[in-house]
Structure 1
Amino acid sequence: MFIDRARIYVEAGDGGDGMSSFRREKFVEKGGPNGGNGGRGGDVVLIADKNLNTLIDFRYKRKYVAKRGGQGGTKNCTGVRADTVFVKVPMGTLVRDDATGAVMADLVEDGQTYTAAKGGRGGKGNACYVTSTNRAPTFAEKGEPGETRWLKLELKLLADVGLVGYPSVGKSSIIAQVSAARPEIAAYHFTTLSPVLGVVRLDEERSFVLADIPGLIEGAHEGVGLGHDFLRHVERTKVLLHIVDVAGVDGRNPIEDFDKINTELAEYSERLARRKQLVVANKMDLPEAQENFERLKEYVEAKGYEICKASAATGEGLRELMFKAYDLLLQYVPEEDEEDLARFDEIDPDSYEIVVGNDTDWEVRGKNIERLVAMTNFDNDEALYRFQLIWKRLGIDEALKERGVQEGQSVRIRDMVFDYKE
């Protein structure tokens, strides 16, 4: 089964908690703090694998969770760093953030990786907080929470040459003739429901990957007839072989079919409209083909396209067609990638916003302040005092007053809720 879309959940491991401990040895009257740092939590990393060609595995497993880092130990021992969880995906997988739709990565090369969720930093042990004024700190940090998110995976086939055209024009028959691919071939529309890849070998040194894209119909660029699902796989091809039923079986008009398919390609993507295209007049073995061919040839050449005769049924012209496709492949010049592959805008980690809460009067959101709450042990007086100092440095108290916070109103930061007091 060919699956080209999936939605998965990734959760990196939390950092290990720092240790609060003191050196205690015989004849050492006042051993100093020696609590070690916690270990970093495990990452979740996507890795492109050339041996995969579908996202079907993600139908059965959607959740990928890394382990937590080890807790810091005594004698300044750092906790164990958790192992990275590697998730294999096919080459050609586009990774999007599920919440925003932003493109996070495009994995097109074998072994290419993307860190989908980063493990949390280990909390600092109390030995890290020794100062000239505080020689024996009793508090240690908790581990930083690991990143979590839902991701959308979209597979776009990596093929050199793509076969496009209306249903039943002979695309599957052509790929079956010129490669070892064996798609289903039958006398009804939409026999091919999934893209099929085949390797075309011209000789010992020359070969390319050919993709049979399921038939397009009018309105495909708007999603009609699974148009978006099919057109997505054409995007990465370097050359298009536009297959036309020149015999006009089922009363079709070859010129109208040619125009409509090109319109769908252009409406879906301007880059597809500029892609090198070779028109293939298929079914030349049928009686009506020759007369229609002359009209089609005159029309497509006037539009600047080259046209070739072929017959998938007899194999006539297919070898010459593959050599021409290979020549066009050698002439391919990649365009600058116009797709927005930008990650989320980098923001100041100290920045925050104060909004009206869903279940509280107010909510404070910000990278550093939320991390600080998660990593602070509020049961320890020294840790609480440190939290208050950072809170003051960030100016959150003044910002809350400017928003109109009132005495006794509830304020949420991450999972902590408190009542505001002057």
Structure 2
Amino acid sequence: MNKKMAAMMVMGGIMGTSASAMAAANPFSDVPADHWAYDAVVKLAADGVIEGYGDGAFKGNRNITRYEMAQMVAKAMAKNTAGADKAIVDKLAAEFAEELNNLGVRVSNLERNADMLKWTGELRYIFQRTNNEGAADKSHNRAELRLFPTAEVNDHWHVKARITARNDMKNDTTTNATLTYIYAEGAYKNFTVAAGKMPLSSTNDEGLVVDDFFSGVQLTFGRKLQTVLEYGRWNLGNSTVSKNNAADYQGIQFNYNSGKVFAGAGYRHLSSDSFKGITGVSANEDNFNIWSAGVNYRFDKNFSLAGAYAQNSSADDYAKAGNICLNYKGINRKNPGTWGAYAAYRYIGRNASLASTYNTISFGGHNRKGWEIGASYVPFKNVTTDIAYFHGKQLLDGKDSNTLFARARFMF
């Protein structure tokens, strides 16, 4: 039997996976016809692990996407197979783990039966050069190793961590490996709780305000309509304040994601003596109150338009930040040849955008406005490349400023 036809025969059996999963966007590229997963699915179909339509017929002769293949794997996982078939299911679950997570299917059974502790990692090479009019060029050339251990505690709880080590390739110096974050996370049907040092990201504005880590507690409620509550302490060393001490932090954000439209709003309160007297802040102001909102609209599978705005109501100057970005296509690190590009205009006031996710800004400096273009490409499976160029003005004096950023990532 033709492999593609056989795979399509079994697809109908998984159509009832979940209504919300079927409504999600389908960003995954087609699985090649010679992919080993086809053989695996045909074997499971022959063994009756995955069933076709009731009449035994197949519906059409079209390519199967990774999204659809993941649904087949979810159906097979639900049957709790044993022996050789179970080994096939486990291998498929590992291959399509990201897609399964997107469908809301947990792979804890696979993790528990394979290994209680799993390691993934990433090697990065980064080059950056910034030129500010009237000042000497600043360059940055480093290699960075990131290791991500994940330990399963039980069906709901996992411990997650990141270990980071860097090499300054310009000066041939290496840092010791450090524990960037470590936290426990419990995932339940309608909410998730996390405690420890964990990622701090303003997802409501796509990282305009902050993309770093904080120590505390995070509660997340809902799926399509999501509420995120955060409480703890944030070290300001990686922020625009650049002082190595912690601020008290409380935050709330609301996110809505329909697949085609993502929108969100958030509020973050920070308290620290480090705020007093910094550029644009009065000498007696020790609180930051930052409001932000963002929206991302996907026109079709190729184009999307995103916009975000943030304002610090406690600052006198450099208290606003904004971003608008047009995206074209996008990469899938498991699919060589995929690529994406974008064009953006950014206005980054340092007292509203404290640690943004934008590479040219985080490496080149805040308090700037201007245009940026960038592109990403996947030359080999699990290898990605990025390049971006920012050109604009410094908010302080209106002088020219530009930053070139390039990165290669090897993920394992």
Quick check: TM above 0.5? Answer: no
Q: Normalising to structure 2: TM-score of the pair? A: 0.22
Give the structure with the larger strand fraction.
2
Higher RCO (Cα < 8 Å, 6 or more apart)? 1
**Which has more radius of gyration?**
1
TM-score under structure 1 length normalisation:
0.22
